Structure 1
Amino acid sequence: MRKKGLVPSPGRTGGHDWEGFVPNGSLPFSINPEPKQA
């Protein structure tokens, strides 16, 4: 799931990362992927 403007590492393009990103669209995806999964 590669979205324009959102270019995380290939290993992070998983459902967990996107689920954490969607509700927090105001936050840069590549900056806070870990806290969303923790």
Structure 2
Amino acid sequence: MALQETDRDLQKELILGADIFEKLKKHEVRMHSFSVDE
């Protein structure tokens, strides 16, 4: 039971991490295109 709970928490962490990663990537791309315009 505890093992399943940990597994579910791990999945949540992975999804959250992937979401943050995507946001960072988009932000980075925006920053790069911004510096190119200068």
Question: Quick check: TM above 0.5?
Answer: no
Greater helix proportion:
2
Bigger RCO (CA 8 Å, 6+ sep): 1
Normalising by structure 1, what TM-score?
0.29
TM-score, L = length of structure 2: 0.29
